[in-house]
Amino acid sequence: MILAIDNILTPEELQFVVESLSQANFVDGKTTAGWHAKLVKNNIQLEKTSERSVELTDLVKAALERNLLLKTAVLPKIIHSILFSRYEKGMSYGSHTDNAFMGKWRSDVSFTLFLSSPNTYSGGELVVATMDGDRSYKLEAGSAIVYPSSMLHRVEPVTEGARLVAVGWIQSLVRDPSEREILFELDTVRRSIFAKEGKTLEFDLLSKTHSNLLRKWAD
């Protein structure tokens, strides 16, 4: 399941992140790429060991953790390995699949949090390969695209301006994407019933099924 989530960051948080990154030290993005991804990765990234990186990582992680849609759709166990990337004119990231593990954590779900307004740069679309063909994404600043880490994806060349994003990975409580989707749909329906009718028998039965499936499938 590919999911676009608006307004992950508040306007104030977005402004703080962008202003902080404008004064930050960026390094070659190949330093965090796998051996095969290095061949197609051409961007720069915020130095991970810097004090600013730690502060911004905590801010983005907290924003993701409080988002109800992300929590119900992804069921995060841990959000990890957040990177702040910048693509300037001519930079891109060719087709690749993310590593199965980032350090000790599994990468079940990948996300790209857009930090630049789409009006400030040309090109730079995130393209995810699906069974129905390529899907292209270029969201408003502060919004994120979330997708299974097993999918091939790429970043198209930036032709004007600069593309600023935060990317990262999530180890889910449920590793199988189809099982996560079933749980998400059940949760969506039961919340809708509760909003319209309160705590009914139907709500209780759906809640029971959701809990039992989560208990069955969770790592």
Are 152 and 199 part of one and the same domain?
no
Tell me the mean pLDDT in the region 89-113. 97
**What residue numbers does the annotated binding site for 2-oxoglutarate cover?**
163
Are 86 and 18 part of one and the same domain?
yes
Are 186 and 115 part of one and the same domain?
no
Tell me the mean pLDDT in the region 105-109. 98
**What residue numbers does the annotated binding site cover?**
96, 98, 153, 163
Are 52 and 14 part of one and the same domain?
yes
User: What is the overall mean pLDDT for the chain?
Assistant: 97
Tell me the mean pLDDT in the region 31-48. 91
Rg (CA), the chain: 18
| pTM recorded for the entire structure | 0.95
To the nearest whole percent, how much of the chain has pLDDT over 70?
Answer: 100
Q: Residue 156 pLDDT > 90, yes or no? A: yes
Q: What is the pLDDT of residue 43?
A: 97
d(CA 189, CA 100): 32
Q: Which pLDDT band holds residue 87 (cuts at 50, 70, 90)?
A: very high
CATH of the domain at 15: 2.60.120.620
Are 32 and 65 part of one and the same domain?
yes
Q: What is the pLDDT of residue 134?
A: 97
d(CA 131, CA 97): 15
Q: What is the pLDDT of residue 34?
A: 82
Are 65 and 113 part of one and the same domain?
yes
Q: Which pLDDT band holds residue 35 (cuts at 50, 70, 90)?
A: confident
Count the domains in the chain.
2
Are 150 and 201 part of one and the same domain?
no
- Written as six digits, the tokens of 150 are 């097993």
β-bridge pairing 109-114 and 105-106: unpaired
Are 165 and 183 part of one and the same domain?
no
**What residue numbers does the annotated binding site for Fe cation cover?**
96, 98, 153
Q: What is the pLDDT of residue 53?
A: 95
- Written as six digits, the tokens of 91 are 């930079």
Q: What is the pLDDT of residue 8?
A: 98
- In tens, the pLDDT along 125-139 reads 999 999 999 999 999
To the nearest whole percent, how much of the chain has pLDDT over 90?
Answer: 94
Domain membership of residue 109 as a residue range = 3-172
Are 13 and 85 part of one and the same domain?
yes
Are 11 and 53 part of one and the same domain?
yes
Q: Residue 36 pLDDT > 90, yes or no? A: no
Are 101 and 43 part of one and the same domain?
yes
Are 212 and 164 part of one and the same domain?
no
Q: What is the pLDDT of residue 40?
A: 97
Within 8 A by CB and 6+ apart from 163, the residues are 86, 87, 91, 116, 121, 123, 124, 155
